[in-house]
């Protein structure tokens, strides 16, 4: 069993305690991780503060080389990282490999973006008194950035916070989700094989008390957080003057119009609903089907769902692995039962064995029930028929979340209507809301948070605009 120490100030340190990490699939120990107390977290903050005195002066070429080497080394260690993700997160190994491939791309895009942090030349001669005056605007790094990441993408969500921080010239502290911290520690080893100054990246798994130092310390200039609203909104309130970006989950819906190509739509919806046991912020939780195609869609969708293989994430044939904890699996079981008691019908699935929850399709679910209105974060999808497109859009908006939504239609007018009406950060036309490529802007509104990820957009969040006004007459 591997043992993982903290990464602080360019080296490894023992934590104040160690914890065993158990497999979500069979609860066997898979790793031992060192955890930081407040004193160690303060050491990491101080190391990052000192490192920023160097990272802010790194040239774009130097930042490019650091990020490109991280990308290349992740690719070289692809199978090791994929196995780590499968073991600690319960993600099926084929999906874990795809996550590693995305992380390779995320760091590579960040490397390219490090060369494109452009400024602007602004003419200021808009009146007789400002003749011969020009403004130069450029972006400067903020300083120490703290990233707090969840369990569901142990590598690529870390990449989406770490890579733009490095690209912009900031120093960085990562507090990964405890369960999946071994994957982050492997990434730490990769980062520390580059020429990044010591303390430029620090990786410190910790409990809530130690992590609170990241929010309280003035030396930390920004918090970038992905997790639940229950943690994110109080974090923002406590952060006070710090810059904060929040990605707090979603309840993604897709609308399928009669002119959609069902041979394409159904496999995509299957993937969007059940990949990684639905534990993705933009997993499909609700599908709105036009009445004209309802029966045809449902017949094939149910048949394909029944074929999904549930089981060991290390098995190459597994399609759906375990939920991250027994508590999460039991909670969604209660949500299903609550829906059934209120008149819902389970068309497929509904069962649970340990942390394994069967891919489940429900219909006739009241919209006000938790399984429809809140975030399930489970392999559950609720189906609704509709006859009027605009009414379907209104029903999509009936959620406290607003991250992404999908619409399948060949009608350009309806596509733009959805773009205007849907209360989400991203509208995906002719694909599922689970679609994401790593350079596009990504983030939500309402309870889904605010701020944007996607490398260039994250760099903008992690930098400060500064103006120099010049009088050329003197």
What are the pLDDT digits (tens) for 436-449? 999 999 999 999 99
Dist CA 55 CA 170 (whole Å) = 6
pLDDT for the residue numbered 240? 86
- The pLDDT tens digits for 356-407 are 999 999 999 999 999 999 999 999 999 999 999 999 999 999 999 999 999 9
Q: Point out the catalytic residue in the list 281, 358, 375, 453.
A: 281
Nearest to 173 by CA among 218, 150, 205: 205
Percent of the chain predicted with pLDDT > 70: 100
Q: Mind listing the pLDDT tens digit for each residue in 116-172?
A: 999 999 999 999 999 999 999 999 999 999 999 999 999 999 999 999 999 999 999
* CA–CA gap between residue 125 and residue 104 (Å, rounded): 46
Q: First CA to last CA across the chain, in angstroms?
A: 70
> How high is the pLDDT of residue 1?
85
Active site residue 247: yes
Residue 474 confidence (pLDDT) above 80: no
- The predicted-structure confidence for 267-283, as pLDDT tens digits, reads as follows 999 999 999 999 999 99
Whether 337 has a pLDDT exceeding 90, the answer reads yes
Question: 90-105: per-residue pLDDT in tens?
Answer: 999 999 999 999 999 9
Beta-carbon contacts of 229 under 8 Å, excluding residues fewer than 6 positions away, are 248, 249, 447, 449
Answer whether 110's CB lies under 8 Å from 339's CB. no
Q: How far apart are the C-alpha atoms of 474 and 472, rounded to whole Å?
A: 6
CA angle 379, 381, 386 (to 5 degrees): 170
Contact status, residue 362 vs residue 347, Cβ threshold 8 Å = yes
- State both tokens at 75: 């690719």
> Quick one: pLDDT band at residue 42, thresholds 50, 70, 90?
very high
pLDDT at 157: 98
For residues 55 and 50, give the distance between their C-alpha atoms in angstroms, rounded to a whole number.
9
Closest CA to 48 of 200, 191, 211, 224: 200
Catalytic site includes residue 269 = no
C-alpha–C-alpha distance, residues 210 and 36, integer Å: 7
Q: What domains appear along the chain, each with residue ranges and CATH number? A: 2-248+449-468 (3.40.605.10), 252-437 (3.40.309.10)
Closest by CA to 163, choosing from 468, 453, 431, 473, is 453
- Tell me: the pLDDT tens digits for 186-215? 999 999 999 999 999 999 999 999 999 999
> Whose CA is closest to 150, among 214, 232, 32?
232
Q: Report d(CA 250, CA 444) in Å as an integer.
A: 8
Instruction: Give me the phi and psi of 250, to 5 degrees please.
Output: -165, 180
CB 384 within 8 A of CB 396: no
Q: Which of 312, 328, 315, 317 is nearest to 278 (CA)?
A: 328
Among the listed residues 217, 247, 375, 447, the single catalytic one is: 247
């Amino acid at each position: 069993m591997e043992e993982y120490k903290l990464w602080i100030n360019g080296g490894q340190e023992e934590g104040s305690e160690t914890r065993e990490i158990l497999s979500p699939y069979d609860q066997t120990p898979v790793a031992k991780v060192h955890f930081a107390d407040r004193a160690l977290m303060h050491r990491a903050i101080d190391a990052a503060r000192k490192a920023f005195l160097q990272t802010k002066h790194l040239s774009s070429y130097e930042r490019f080389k650091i990020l490109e080497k991280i990308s290349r080394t992740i690719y070289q260690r692809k199978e090791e990282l994929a196995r780590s993700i499968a073991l600690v997160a319960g993600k099926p190994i084929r999906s874990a490999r795809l996550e590693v491939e995305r992380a390779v791309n995320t760091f590579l895009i960040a490397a390219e973006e490090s060369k494109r942090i452009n400024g602007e030349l602004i003419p200021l001669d808009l009146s007789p008194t400002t003749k011969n005056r020009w403004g130069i605007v450029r972006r400067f790094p903020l300083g120490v950035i703290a990233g707090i990441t969840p369990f569901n993408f142990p590598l690529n969500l870390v990449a989406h916070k770490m890579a733009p921080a490095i690209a912009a010239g900031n120093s960085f502290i990562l507090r990964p989700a405890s369960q999946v911290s071994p994957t982050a520690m492997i990434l730490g080893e990769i980062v520390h094989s580059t020429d990044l100054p010591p303390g430029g990246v620090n990786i410190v798994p910790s409990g809530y008390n130690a992590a609170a130092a990241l929010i309280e310390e003035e030396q930390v200039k920004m918090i970038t957080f992905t997790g639940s609203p229950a943690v994110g909104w109080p974090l923002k309130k406590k952060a006070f003057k710090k810059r904060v970006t929040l990605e707090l989950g979603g309840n993604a819906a897709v609308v399928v119009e009669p002119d959609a190509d069902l041979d394409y739509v159904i496999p995509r919806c299957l993937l969007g609903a059940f990949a990684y046991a639905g534990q993705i912020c933009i997993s499909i939780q609700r599908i709105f089907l036009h009445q004209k195609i309802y029966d045809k869609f449902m017949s094939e969708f149910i048949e394909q769902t029944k074929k999904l293989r549930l089981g060991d994430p290390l098995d190459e044939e597994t399609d759906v692995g375990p939920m991250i904890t027994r508590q999460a699996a039991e909670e969604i079981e209660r949500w299903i039962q609550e829906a059934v008691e209120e008149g819902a019908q389970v068309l497929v699935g509904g069962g649970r064995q340990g942390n394994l929850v069967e891919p489940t399709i429900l219909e006739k679910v009241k919209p006000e029930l938790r399984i429809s209105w809140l975030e399930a974060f489970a392999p559950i999808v609720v189906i609704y028929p509709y006859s009027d497109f605009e009414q379907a859009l209104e029903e999509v908006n009936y959620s406290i979340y607003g991250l992404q939504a999908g619409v399948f239609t060949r009608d350009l007018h309806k596509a733009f209507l959805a773009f205007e009406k849907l209360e989400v950060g991203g509208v995906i036309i002719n694909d599922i809301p689970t679609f994401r490529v790593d350079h596009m802007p990504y983030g939500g509104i309402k309870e889904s948070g605010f701020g944007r990820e996607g490398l260039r957009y994250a760099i903008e969040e992690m930098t400060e605009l500064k103006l120099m006004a010049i009088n050329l007459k003197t």
